[in-house]
Chains A and B, each alone.
Chain A
């Protein structure tokens, strides 16, 4: 598989600070289209921040300041006049903690399309079925669509969140440690889903587990204390890392 891909997202000199404390320093990298890019690194080093910058979810954090450029679809999405709500339609997000919205299973999936103006019952029905199928939940839940989503198991909830994110048909899917709160079986389900999804979506996956990264990634980034130490195609990254710090991390010296 050729790795010289058109970049989906181009990050240029991205620096993010919380209350004057730098959390991400001068990140420059291109994220390839229709591939799974894994972002690895020790906890609290800015991986989540990087992800949240890509869909401007960082705006919600008090005291965060961002500089640099992130190019997507030909535009710098960090500019003030960007329609963030529309941006988030094109760049989706799944968080670490499975977070069902306080509504029925059906309404959870339909939520995205609804807020963007789709109210036609038939259309929504189609979308809900499609997304639940993609998330691997249709068989289990097709008869229980009106039940509260909070009644689902944690694993099902996370898959629901995946379906919900896909309902607005994004091109990019940002995943912040999506399996860290799940048991091994549910984790596997999500991983399988992500592997399949990359045909149609660009997946950016922050993960804590190197094994998961190795399983899924086509491309990898190593972020250490806010700095991008190294990045490259998965094969080179995991087997022949250039930087000694990357090597140390991969060998489990620090985690």
Chain B
């Protein structure tokens, strides 16, 4: 009898825990939605924060939205350029070698680096080359942020490509490179896209790494070497002001950011499902 009571008690605790955690996570979305929606206007999305926005006058956060897109977009492009060769090399040429182990271990470490440290390190590099806070600086920091995420995800995907697929290609006389670029990538494409979108979303949402690398500005991004605004920082700075109107806008900005990130996340999963049509199972 004792053990049945124990079973029932723990089952109850487990259900409560699940409710708490899922509920807690959902409440984040709900709270931001509820508090943010009222201040959500078209202007927020179409105007920049020039002239008095932070004092309560009109304007929007277009500078931050575009800035984030530029920052995360640039970083993602750079990260893809570095990730695909790395992931492919790990899987096609060096699968079980000590080198692959070294690379994967190192990436595990990179994965755990707090995002603010990317900012600090990028800052060191920027000072070294004489670069001030800028779009470029932010991109460098975000690229480092995206790398471990993207490479790990791509690595996972490439690992699941069945050996027999590659063998079929080799059997026809294709080289490793040709097999990799034609067969493997095609099989892995949906997973690779998910990897990219995952990293992109992460980069768009990060504030700590762009804090002192990208700086902030009220203007739309014009040059790689000028500071640029970003959505997460827009939320943060608006929240700091003493004006309730502006604070409200912070909630709205947070809502916009959340919507963008969640859409990317959900969208990437759906895309992976839809475009996995040619994938052999």
- Residues in chain A within 8 A of chain B (CB atoms): 115, 117
Contacts and interface: CB of A to CB of B under 8 A. Distances in A.
Interface string B1-25: 0110000000000000000000000
Contacts of B3: 115, 117
A117 B2 CA distance: 9
3 contacts: A115-B3, A117-B2, A117-B3
Contacts of A115: 3
Contacts, number: 3
A232 B2 CA distance: 44
A117 B6 CA distance: 13
User: Closest 3 interchain pairs by CB?
Assistant: A115-B3, A117-B2, A117-B3
A81 to B, nearest CB: 13
A33 to B, nearest CB: 30
Contacts of A117: 2-3
A163 B2 CA distance: 26
B8 to A, nearest CB: 13
Nearest to A115: B3
Contacts of B2: 117
A115 B6 CA distance: 12
A177 to B, nearest CB: 29
A59 to B, nearest CB: 15
Nearest to A83: B4
A43 B3 CA distance: 38
A78 B13 CA distance: 29
A117 B3 CA distance: 9
A115 B3 CA distance: 8
A88 to B, nearest CB: 13
B265 to A, nearest CB: 28
A87 to B, nearest CB: 14
A113 B220 CA distance: 73
A146 B2 CA distance: 28
Nearest to B2: A117
A17 B2 CA distance: 34
A245 to B, nearest CB: 35
B15 to A, nearest CB: 20
A14 to B, nearest CB: 28
A117 B4 CA distance: 12
A239 B3 CA distance: 50
B5 to A, nearest CB: 13
A123 B177 CA distance: 67
A110 to B, nearest CB: 16
A230 to B, nearest CB: 40
Nearest to B1: A117
A115 B4 CA distance: 11
A219 B3 CA distance: 38
B6 to A, nearest CB: 11
B227 to A, nearest CB: 55
B178 to A, nearest CB: 40
A242 to B, nearest CB: 45
A115 B2 CA distance: 11
A112 to B, nearest CB: 13
B138 to A, nearest CB: 48
Nearest to B7: A85
A179 B91 CA distance: 39
A159 B109 CA distance: 45
Interface in B118-151: none
A188 B2 CA distance: 41
A152 B3 CA distance: 31
